Structures are given as structure tokens and as C-alpha cells.
Amino acid sequence: MKIEACIFDLDGVIVDTAKYHYLAWKELAGEMGFVFTETHNERLKGVSRMASLDILLELGGISLDDEQKSKLATRKNNRYVSFIKKMSPREILPGVMQFLGELKAAGIKTAIGSASKNTPLILERLKLQSYFDAVIDGNKVLEAKPDPEVFLKGAKELNVPPGNCVVFEDAAAGVEAALNAGMVCIGVGLPQNLPGAHKVIGGFEHFRLVDLMNL
């Protein structure tokens, strides 16, 4: 396989935003009178905002109509945004900048493929906007992962066949989406959480271009 492009999930791959999502969901759960734990939070990784809210309400045994749900989602997002607004490039995960630099030097294209509608703000805060040739996020797709839409759109914008793309993902639904797109997928995290990934790495600290080429 000739690797022509790497497509990166954002949350959990480039930056650890899960802690901010957790704080915001926890506050919301607290207001509704139930406890939301970090273990619960694991279930929300890679899941869209509204689907995350549905899981949260299910955990609390609460049922609401669409209007009430939309208000809650907005409240959670306002809180989340108040956290991510304060982020800085120091929060980019170890090894990421070096790996992106190696890809650029090798002429391999890069894209973001994220479910988050806050992607533009996060990339701005991390000063990463100019590092990606394409950014496909929750504002540009209709179908959530495991649907392959986000990654297929990324490949299309990069003008690279899906079969020549490698996806980096930290969530099971994202790994599935990459496989559904016909791409190679490298899981970032623990192998037991990322079934189907062609390879799983702990992060980019010890992952170099040569490791990608030896896949």
C-alpha cells in the first residue's frame, strides 16, 4: 500500500479534550441530580453531542422532549467552550508536532476527521490551522461515525483514494468508520478498546514516520 495521506481524529488523538467534555457533562448531570463518573464518560468518546446527551439522560433515567434536549445540549456546549477557549498549544499531545513535521517533509498529506463542531475553535487555540491540508468536522457531515462519511470526505478533499489513507483514531466508533471507508486504521489508546484497528499505539511519543512506512 502506498501511503499518500494521514487523517487524524482530533479529540483524544491530537489533544485530550475528554477531560473538558467530562467536566461539562458532570455539571449538567449534577444539576439534574445524578452522578456522572469518568467511567461513564468513556462511553461518550467519539460519540456526537446529541447522542452523548441521550446516553447521559439514559444514565440518569430521565426522558425529555427534543426542545428540552436541545436546550441542555446548548448549555453543556457553552460550558465546554468556556474550557476549550482557555486551551493553548502546550496541550497538544506529546510527539504530535514532530510526527506532523515528518509527514510534511515526506510529502504526505494530512487532514482532520472529527465529529466535533468545535474543531475550528480547538485548532485555533492550538495554533494548528495551517498544519492540515483539509479539515472535515461535525459541521460538514450528516452521518456520525461509524459511518465513513467524515473520512471519505477528507480523502476526497485531499484528492487521495481512500485505500491510500491511514486514519488515527482513539474511539471504537472511529475505528469502525475508518474500516468502513476502506482505510488503514491505527488506534491510539489501548488495544482492548479499539477492536479491528490494524495496529494500536499508545500515542505519538514513540511513533515515527519509519513506523508508519513499516506497517
11 is catalytic: yes
Provide the residue count of the chain. Answer: 215
Total residues at interface with Mg ion (CB under 5 A): 6
Q: Is 75 in the site for ligand BG6 (CB under 6 A)?
A: no
Instruction: Using the rule CB under 6 A, give the single segment among 56-64, 96-104, 110-118, 158-166 that binds ligand BG6.
Output: 110-118
> What is the grid cell recorded at 67?
426542545
Q: What angle do CA 136, 137, 142 make, to 5 degrees?
A: 100
211 is catalytic: no
Q: How far, in Å, CA of 170 to CA of 45, rounded?
A: 8
Which of residues 98 and 193 has its CB atom nearest to Mg ion in the complex? Answer: 193
Alpha carbon 28 to its chain centroid, in Å, reads 22
Enumerate residues 6+ apart whose C-beta is below 8 A from 168.
6, 7, 8, 9, 13, 185, 186, 188
Site string for Mg ion, 146-185 (x = CB under 5 A): ------------------------xx--------------
Q: Is 193 in the site for ligand BG6 (CB under 6 A)?
A: no
Residue whose entry in the numeric block shows the C-alpha cell 502546550? 90
Phi, psi (rounded to 5 degrees) for 176: -60, -40
Which of residues 6 and 24 has its CB atom nearest to ligand BG6 in the complex? Answer: 24
Site string for ligand BG6, 113-132 (x = CB under 6 A): -xxxxx--------------
Q: How far is the CB of 77 from ligand BG6 (least distance, A)?
A: 6
> What is the grid cell recorded at 197?
484497528
The interface with ligand BG6 within residues 32-71 (CB under 6 A) comprises 44-49, 52
DSSP string of 96-113?
HHHHHHHHHHTT-EEEEE
Residues near ligand BG6 (CB under 6 A): 10-12, 21, 44-49, 52, 77, 114-118, 138, 171
- Residues annotated as part of the active site: 9, 11
